[in-house]
């Protein structure tokens, strides 16, 4: 039965080994990593996107909705609804951005 001092020393060493990324015998490496990020959700269509985010999904930094009119002029309009600004989420759902203005499933 190990003494409490020995047990505390052992726990402290293992914690140090994990933070330092030390290699133990047998090729086992202890590395402290960050928790894995969940993959961004891929929505099937714009109806599903608009149920979650009424204004769509935009790249960070987008300030206006660019709308191309029938005569090929581009009009800047204010964003409508609650727009989610997220780079990874936009990338996963970029197929829904038909006009390629950086906002997927926006309200015009």
| Phi, psi at 87, each rounded to 5° | -65, -50
Region 44-59: mean pLDDT is: 97
The band of 89, judged by pLDDT with boundaries at 50, 70 and 90, is: very high
Q: Does residue 75 sit in helix, strand or coil?
A: strand
| Structure confidence at residue 30 (pLDDT) | 53
For residue 35, pLDDT over 80 is answered with: no
CB atoms under 10 Å from CB of 99, counted, come to: 14
pTM (two decimals): 0.65
| Structure confidence at residue 27 (pLDDT) | 60
For residue 67, pLDDT over 70 is answered with: yes
Tens digits of per-residue pLDDT, 6-31?
555 555 555 555 555 555 555 655 55
Exposed, middle or buried, 40 (CB in 10 Å: 0-12/13-18/19+)? middle
């Amino acid at each position: 039965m190990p003494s409490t001092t020995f047990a505390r020393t052992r726990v402290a060493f293992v914690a140090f080994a994990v933070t330092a990324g030390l290699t133990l015998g047998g090729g086992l490496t202890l590395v402290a990593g960050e928790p894995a990020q969940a993959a961004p959700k891929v929505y099937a269509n714009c109806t599903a996107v608009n149920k979650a985010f009424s204004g769509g999904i935009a790249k960070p930094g987008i300030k206006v909705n660019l709308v191309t009119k029938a005569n090929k002029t581009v009009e800047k309009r204010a964003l409508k609804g609650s727009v989610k600004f997220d780079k990874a989420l936009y990338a996963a759902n970029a197929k829904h951005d038909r006009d390629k203005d950086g906002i997927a499933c926006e309200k015009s």
